[in-house]
Structure formats: C-alpha cells, structure tokens
A and B are shown apart, each in its own frame.
Chain A
C-alpha cells in the first residue's frame, strides 16, 4: 500500500486536471444546481404556505437541510460513475490494468482527485446557495465536528456504491439508462428532495434501511441537531457499517468482473 501511494496520488491529480480543463462545464453544472435549490425553496415555501412550523420543524430548518444536502450531493457527484463505464467503452480499461496499482484503487483515487478539484467550486457556490436557498447555523461546535466526520463517511459510502454500480459495465458495456436510474435514486433516497422526516412512514422505513440515507441525510441531520447527541454515534456506526459492507461487495463483484472483461478495440 505504501509503495503504491505515489501512483494513486498521480492518478488523482490527473483527474483533478480534467476537472479544471472542463471548468466551464462544471460552472454550468453549478448554475443548474442553484436553479434546483431555488426550485426546492419555492416549492417548499408553497407547501409551508405561511406556517412557521410543520410537525415542529421550521421552514428555515427544512430549507437549510435541502440546500446543504444538494450542494453536498453535487460535490460527491455520484453520477460521474468513477469513470468505469467510459474506460470500458473506450477499451482504456486494458491500459488501466497494466498499471502497477490496483484498478479499484485507481477508480477511488480518480474520484478523490475530482472531488478535490471541485471543492473550490463548492466553496464559491456556498454563499450563493445559501442566498437562493437558505442557511441556518449549526446547533453547536460539537455538532459541526460530528458533521465533518459523518460527511467523510457519507462520501465513502457514495464513492464505493458508485464503483459497485459502475462495475456492472463489465457485463453490459455502456448503459446510459441504468446510470440515469441510479442518479434519480440517489436524489430521492438520500433525502435531497424531501427530508426523511416528511416522508410517509412506510416510505421512510424503506429509505432508512437503504445505504443512500447515510450519504446525505445523516451528516446534514447531525449538522442541524436533528439527530440527538446520544444517537449520533449510532448513526455514524451505521455509516461505517455501510462502508465496510459495500467495500466487500465491491471486491467480490470486481473479482468476478475481471474474468468477464472485454477490452474493446484491442
């Protein structure tokens, strides 16, 4: 692991450079994100219809949750799929496999590089997002620290999950439609459109046993003090459990995928 670290860093840096090259596209993506946040704001304003509280939850709390959550989801960019589909389609996966570092590690390193390059965009977007959406300070400094830890765990969950979904490409080659379904599932099941506390009970129970709520809902709810301090540790343990389970699942699928591999155009 130690010896291959420079290799992973180089791959991450390569990916970061790609983001900078396409900065106009990413900038436009941010504008779309701001529209999305604005839409959520006006729709939720319409739903609150002048009430300050619904089920004991203020409008400002709900809109902060949605603003922060959507910005996080944008930064995590789960729909860029860890590059696997693109590499498989173009046959470049053959080159990737000859590199002296593991393939899954390369994919994760790319994703980290991309996120690092996108982070400044997210920082610039934060005040705009707070303006069109809303922002409310966290309840306590302890909650902010817990938020950062939980956000990192959420990032691990979504990154590994995207690798797992991306690996399907080894069986199917390009599947634009499947990724669209995944992207929509991430949006809804992570809580980025409807906070979990406003979902009907039957739906909420389903969402709570799925991994996607660990991506956005858990950190955001911790930030806003919606998870009581006693339960914060449990929520994070659930996130950590998902990281481990998904990582083993990804290893397992990868060990099968490599036997199925076709290098196109070789």
Chain B
C-alpha cells in the first residue's frame, strides 16, 4: 500500500511535469477549470440576488455546500482524471502493458496523464469553500472542522466509487467513457444544490440508488444545523464519510473482478 502510494506520487509528478512543458497550455488549463466553477457560482449568485433564497437556503449557506462539493470533486478527479480514458485504453490494447508491468494497473491508468483543468477545479473549490466557511455562520469548533475534513474525503470517495464502478464496465462493454461523462455532469450539476428541492422521488433516488446526497449535501446540513429538512435520520447524514469509505472498498473489489474479463484487442 505504501509502496503503491509512493509509486503513484513519482508517476503523478512526472505526468504533471509533462503537462507543464507548454506554459500557455498550463495557464489556460487552470483558467478553464476556474471558469467552469466560476460560471456555476455566477449562476447561483445571479438567481439568488433576484430571488433571495432557494428552498430556504441563503446564498451564504449554498456557498458552503457548493465549496464542499467542488473541493471533494477536485480531490477525486485530480488523481483519477485518466479514468475517463478507459474506453480508449481498453480498445487500443494499451491495457496490455499495464498488466505486464509490476505495478497495480489502476495506478498506471491513473498516472497516464494529468488534467490541468482539474487543478483549476481545486483552486476554485477551495476559494469558494473558504468564502462559505467564513460567511455561512457555522462556528468552527474542532468537531465541526473534523467533520468538514471527513466530509471532503468521504465526498471524494463516494464520487470516485461510482466512477470506478462505471469504468470497470469497459472491460466487458468496451465502452464506458460516455456513461462516466454523463455521471460526471449529473454530479456537477445536481450535487451543488440542496437536494431537498428536487422532490420526494429524486431525493430518495439520490440517497439510495445513486448516493449523491452523501457527497456534500448531508454533511452540509449537519454543519449548518439544517437536519430537520432531511428525509433520513440525522446520524445517517453525519455518517456520510463512512459511506464513502464503504463504497470505495466495494468499487475497488468490483474493478478487480471486472479486470478478469479484459481481453486484448491484439495488434
């Protein structure tokens, strides 16, 4: 495990250095990542300037939720951005190489390339989170700080788990990228809002079948003392980080099981 982490760090640094060769490309990549997050925020700021609140949530409260979601998203997508290339890697038989080298194939896939845009996501996410932390009125007791950190890690793991499970399908279906992009867009659009506004069916769907609510919304309601509005018990919301860990373990087992179905396209 420690060896795997060290190998990841070395390979990731090499991939990052490759991306930084072209300075302009690097700079605009960062700006592009910021633009994506910035636009989502400008949208929320614009509508809340006009309407005051959304489902009872003020702009300041949504700021915290939004910052938590984006930071968690960046934490998963920075190391795992190459997962989106799985279709290409499987179809072009590049995966053959990963199997013969003495290192976990998942780590080799992860360090295939770094996506600079995702670093822009992290910068944007942390900035919004900081603003939300200051302005949301939450008192940052040690317990709350710990809950926040656990929630960010849990949110990253939740999103990673679902994406890893979808990516695993590529070994049998030879296609997963489009599914993953769709999941990504659902996370990035629906995850940033108080999920209670989506109505009863979507609420339960986003809690069970597709556990997006655990990524940021549940822990945010705990921090903001808004658990009255939930459709689950408050302790379930507070346990969101644990859900992330469990899902991650399941997803990894699924990935391991699916690799066995890989068959090289040959050349």
Q: Which residues of A contact B (CB under 8 A)?
A: 24-25, 28, 31-32, 35-36, 39, 42-43, 45-47, 54, 172-181, 184-185, 187-188, 193-194, 198-200, 203
Contacts of A177 in B (CB 8 A): 25, 27-33, 35, 116-117, 120
**In the complex, A199→B47 CA distance in Å?**
8
A28, A35, A180: the one contacting B189 at CB < 8 Å is: A35
**In the complex, A46→B54 CA distance in Å?**
6
Contacts of A174 in B (CB 8 A): 25
Q: How many A-B pairs with Cβ below 8 Å?
A: 99
**In the complex, A179→B32 CA distance in Å?**
8
**In the complex, A194→B182 CA distance in Å?**
23
A36, A46, A203: the one contacting B185 at CB < 8 Å is: A36
**In the complex, A31→B179 CA distance in Å?**
10
Q: Besides A176-B117, A180-B117, 15 other CB < 8 A contacts?
A: A42-B197, A43-B47, A46-B54, A47-B47, A54-B51, A175-B28, A176-B28, A177-B32, A178-B28, A178-B32, A185-B39, A187-B39, A188-B39, A188-B43, A193-B43
Quick one: given A176-B25, A177-B33, A199-B46, are A47 and B182 in contact (CB under 8 Å)?
A: no
Contacts of A200 in B (CB 8 A): 46, 49-50
Contact B47 A181 (CB under 8 A): no
Query: B134 within 8 Å of A by Cβ?
Result: no
Q: Which residue of A lies closest to B202 (CB)?
A: A42
Contacts of A32 in B (CB 8 A): 181-182, 185
Contacts of A175 in B (CB 8 A): 24-25, 28
Contact B39 A42 (CB under 8 A): no
Contacts of A178 in B (CB 8 A): 28, 31-32
**In the complex, A39→B191 CA distance in Å?**
10
Q: Which residue of B lies closest to A172 (CB)?
A: B24
Shortest distance from the beta carbon of B191 to any chain A beta carbon, whole Å: 10
Contacts of A24 in B (CB 8 A): 175, 178
Kindly name the residue among A46, A181, A200 whose own CB sees the greatest number of chain B CB atoms within 10 A. A46
Query: B266 within 8 Å of A by Cβ?
Result: no
Question: Can you report 10 residue pairs joining A to B where beta carbons are below 8 Å apart?
Answer: A25-B178, A39-B189, A45-B197, A174-B25, A176-B32, A177-B31, A184-B35, A184-B38, A185-B39, A203-B46
**In the complex, A143→B17 CA distance in Å?**
56
Contacts of B25 in A (CB 8 A): 172-177
Contact A184 B182 (CB under 8 A): no
Q: Which residue of A lies closest to B51 (CB)?
A: A47
**In the complex, A174→B28 CA distance in Å?**
10
**In the complex, A35→B205 CA distance in Å?**
15
Contacts of A35 in B (CB 8 A): 182, 185-186, 189-190
Contact B32 A181 (CB under 8 A): yes
Query: B9 within 8 Å of A by Cβ?
Result: no
Q: When A and B form their complex, which 5 residue pairs have the shortest distance between CB atoms, in order from nearest?
A: A177-B32, A177-B28, A180-B32, A28-B178, A46-B197
**In the complex, A32→B189 CA distance in Å?**
10
Query: B36 within 8 Å of A by Cβ?
Result: yes
Q: Which residue of B lies closest to A193 (CB)?
A: B43
Contact A184 B46 (CB under 8 A): no
Contacts of B116 in A (CB 8 A): 177
Query: B102 within 8 Å of A by Cβ?
Result: no
Q: Which residue of B lies closest to A25 (CB)?
A: B178
**In the complex, A215→B262 CA distance in Å?**
46
**In the complex, A188→B30 CA distance in Å?**
20
Contact A198 B50 (CB under 8 A): yes
Shortest distance from the beta carbon of A183 to any chain B beta carbon, whole Å: 8
Contact A176 B39 (CB under 8 A): no
